Structure 1
Amino acid sequence: MTSQAAPGQACPAHQGRMPLHGPEFAADPAATYQALRAHGPVAPVELAPGVPANLVVGYTAALDVLRNPSAFPRDPRRWQAKMPPDSPVLPMMMYRPNCLFTDGAQHARLRAVVTDSLARVDPNALRAQVEQTADRLISRFAGKGEADLLGEYAKLLPLMMFNHLYGCPPELGDRLVVAMRNIFDMIDPEQANVELTQCMVELVTLKRERPDHDMPSWMMAHPARLNDEELIHQLVLLMGAGTEPEQNLIANGIRLLLADDRFAGDLSGGSMPVEEALDEVLWTDPPMANYSASYPVEDVDFAGVRLPAAEPVVISFAAANNDPALAGQQRSGNRAHLAWSAGVHSCPAQQPARLIASVAMEKILDALPDMRLAVPADELVWRPGPFHRALTALPVRFTPVAVPAQPDESPGDTRWNVQPTPSSSTPPAVTSTPSPQPSPREARRPWWSSLARFLRGR
């Protein structure tokens, strides 16, 4: 049995741990993962300066962790108590009362609210809304002959979709996404976390007063009867999972289609292998590269190393998907990748997320058939950060096209599923219930609870 504290090729500057931060890692994460494999399926890393963790880089080992929540629970509070409040990774990893950071019966209750509410989104209506939103965005730059498809398309489309799904006013939606992006990029994350929570409080207050056919209203009406704190953090989770990773999935997919010779011939021949490109991206460059941290209850021997109690065990979806043990597997149509995680905490929105990405890619390729990268693919710049795989920009050129301007719509106008199919726990006709009684009080309330009460005037 070896110890993660003394790797064979230690880096004194990082206390023997490979850093997952900085421009070097962002530019070539595959080189870091390859070096980490020398330690075996689990390797010591540094998520941010002074933040140690153990990264699971082997596919089988990742499945073993993800499918064993009793040994690898998600609650980070013992670890969090030892972290400085201004740690840049804290907003991404701190405890929130949502289904990502809970286990057992509490997790099942919170997850049911998400899955049942998502079930009320009609996929046909969703597809139509993505198409309309894509047309509206493309019309803004199609006549120019050039665009940054990240800033002008891939980033805006998920935001606009969430404005509809949440019935969210545009200004509030803009603030939400800026705060979420700053958390991912670790830019003043403590303030970004406060702003994100404040925005969600405002949204919940709005939906308590005027419920509608949207995700927050359906979640409020769910028989699980979430209190406001739980509702806020379920919405934070959905927003985080549905905007930043989704924009990266769209942008990384378009980059692959334009840069990889395997797809270039198909594109020039008029065929758009979008589904194959998505499979490839989800295997090789998943939009969330490293995440799904768990925290062993006690010191545990796993995959030949000793994992300390309450120290983060982070899954590298990117490294596990590219485990040399999987070499030679057919990836087109193969959905055995870990980009959506696995086990009880697997992403509940993977079908809507894939639909949004595929429609977004189809629409841009159809509208601009001779689109090409404006710079060589190896000159594209990737944003630093341990968690995501994200470009800073995706500049393209194309023959200008005259596209009629598309009218903007007010968020929340779309009725996703006015008569939803009843589920086991969601009544078909109710969209809102009175505010539930608060949960039993603990001796010490978390900081975001006080903020929520203050912003509601209590």
Structure 2
Amino acid sequence: MRFAMYTPEFAADPYRFYAHMREQFGPVVPVYLDPDVPATLVIGYHTAVRILHDPVRFPADPRVWQQSVPAHCPVLPMLEWRPNALRNSGPAHDRYRAANTAALGNVRRHALHSTVQQIAIPLINEICEDGHADLLAQYAHPLTFQALNAVLGCPPEIGQRVATGMAAVFEGVNAEAGNAMLAEALTELVDLRRSHPGMDITTGLLMHPARLNESELTHQLVTLYGAGIEPQQNLIANTLRLILSDDRYSGDVMRGSISVRDALDELLFVDPPLANYCVSYPPNPVEIDDVILPAHQPVVISMAACNNDPTVVSEQRAGNRSHLTWSAGPHACPAQPLAYLVAQVAIEQVLDALPEMELAVPADQLTYRPGPFHRALTGLPVHFPPSPHLTLT
């Protein structure tokens, strides 16, 4: 038996499925990412940590695996080899990661804080007089999109095609066409920043001593957009859902006794926006927890299930960052501080502007988009007393 992770039923209540998986299989579970893509899902925290710190037995290179996968497979764009840090091991990984880490490190956090504020206020002004909004479509998504474009030096018209292509890749709907649109748009961005360099991440990648070629530059940007749009907007929206639906937060965050950072920490533990990923491809059959995993088949870490593993669950979530949401080991996300900053400022801005905001439907009636990897709301409807426009400072 294999659990299907691509169904609407799984998206609606993944934690019920994780519980059934744990009962039947323990920490290592046979799953389908797509009807034609068998994989192993790791739902045990300690097992996942061992795998994430063992790039020799569990390397990130999928090239042998993908030879047997049809080109039209909807999850292939999320899993296929690319010349980037995410899909390589050893010296190639080190080279790509060094370039990314250096380029991300050039982002000035104080300036990013101001940028997010400057983006948030017009978005809030577009909804504040209406008394109702979809915070995902009208706030979290456009804010994430604009903030990422700003730090990457990407004009809106190119960024819009990137966002459309990336959404298709994540959802597995027209993924092949989305992948092509993504590549074309990012090639234009590289060409633009080469001819007009700036103080941005794309220029930083172009100027790095690793001397990335055209294809490598494009694929570093695929990774940055992949991590910077979909998971980031879900982090903002899902944390707002938590704050607005949980009595522990709804009053205390507004009064300041619990911080938005505390809510983010809890959300990253209990319901991470990228729920299942950190994929590796063992080059040989490998034993883990008395289970033999086949060679050249995806091994997927369930950050959502691992974070909620009964053997490690703690009531203390505020300030506790032992979760696996950012991965661990050589592939741990290098953009954590920037992602925290964008989400925190975005959430604080809208809560400060609309302090009486409430969910428009009960939290258990919110729906989620299907897909084996993300934890993504279809919308976040809210209502609030109409408020006057904010003033940009």
TM-score, L = length of structure 2: 0.98
Q: Report 1:10-409 matches (<5 A).
A: 16-38=1-23, 39-267=25-253, 269=255, 271=257, 273-404=259-390
Partner Cα separation in structure 1 for residue 149 and residue 297 of structure 2: 37
Partner Cα separation in structure 1 for residue 192 and residue 344 of structure 2: 32
Partner Cα separation in structure 1 for residue 314 and residue 272 of structure 2: 19
**CA apart distance, 1:332:** 1.1
Residues 268, 250 of structure 1: alpha-carbon distance in 2 compared, 3 angstrom cutoff: closer
Partner Cα separation in structure 2 for residue 270 and residue 74 of structure 1: 42
**CA apart distance, 1:117:** 0.8
Provide, for residues 298-327 of structure 1, a one-character-per-residue CA deviation record: whole Å limited to 9, x for no partner.
Answer: 011111211000100000000000001013
Partner Cα separation in structure 1 for residue 281 and residue 33 of structure 2: 15
TM-score, L = length of structure 1: 0.84
Greater fraction of residues in helix: 2
Could you tell me which runs of 5 or more consecutive residues in structure 1 were left unpaired when the two chains were aligned: 1-15, 408-458
Query: Helix, strand or coil for the counterpart of 1:100?
Result: helix
Q: Is the 8 A contact 1:44 1:52 kept in 2?
A: yes
**CA apart distance, 1:328:** 3.4
Query: Helix, strand or coil for the counterpart of 1:324?
Result: coil
CA RMSD of aligned residues (A): 1.2
Q: Is the 8 A contact 2:253 2:260 kept in 1?
A: no
**CA apart distance, 1:165:** 1.2
Q: Is the 8 A contact 2:307 2:313 kept in 1?
A: no
Q: Is the 8 A contact 1:183 1:192 kept in 2?
A: yes
Partner Cα separation in structure 2 for residue 151 and residue 328 of structure 1: 33
Partner Cα separation in structure 2 for residue 18 and residue 133 of structure 1: 41
Provide, for residues 255-275 of structure 1, a one-character-per-residue CA deviation record: whole Å limited to 9, x for no partner.
Answer: 000001111231454555211
Q: Is the 8 A contact 1:140 1:405 kept in 2?
A: no
Provide, for residues 179-201 of structure 1, a one-character-per-residue CA deviation record: whole Å limited to 9, x for no partner.
Answer: 10111111110000000001011
Query: Helix, strand or coil for the counterpart of 1:125?
Result: helix
**CA apart distance, 1:330:** 1.4
Query: Helix, strand or coil for the counterpart of 1:306?
Result: strand
Partner Cα separation in structure 2 for residue 329 and residue 312 of structure 1: 32
Query: Helix, strand or coil for the counterpart of 2:86?
Result: coil
Partner Cα separation in structure 1 for residue 315 and residue 391 of structure 2: 45
Q: Is the 8 A contact 1:272 1:362 kept in 2?
A: no
Partner Cα separation in structure 2 for residue 235 and residue 252 of structure 1: 25
Partner Cα separation in structure 2 for residue 404 and residue 266 of structure 1: 24
Residues 271, 328 of structure 1: alpha-carbon distance in 2 compared, 3 angstrom cutoff: closer
**CA apart distance, 1:216:** 0.9
Partner Cα separation in structure 2 for residue 77 and residue 36 of structure 1: 29
Q: Is the 8 A contact 2:326 2:332 kept in 1?
A: yes
Q: Is the 8 A contact 2:49 2:328 kept in 1?
A: yes
Could you tell me which runs of 5 or more consecutive residues in structure 2 were left unpaired when the two chains were aligned: none
Partner Cα separation in structure 2 for residue 262 and residue 76 of structure 1: 43
Query: Helix, strand or coil for the counterpart of 2:217?
Result: helix
* Structure ID, larger Rg: 1
- Equivalent residues, number: 392
Query: Helix, strand or coil for the counterpart of 2:29?
Result: strand
**CA apart distance, 1:404:** 4.4
| Larger deviation, residues 285-294 vs 268-277 | 268-277
| Larger deviation, residues 20-29 vs 326-335 | 326-335
Query: Helix, strand or coil for the counterpart of 1:54?
Result: strand
Query: Helix, strand or coil for the counterpart of 1:310?
Result: coil
Q: Which amino acid aligns with 2:5?
A: L
Partner Cα separation in structure 2 for residue 271 and residue 328 of structure 1: 21
Residues 153, 272 of structure 1: alpha-carbon distance in 2 compared, 3 angstrom cutoff: farther
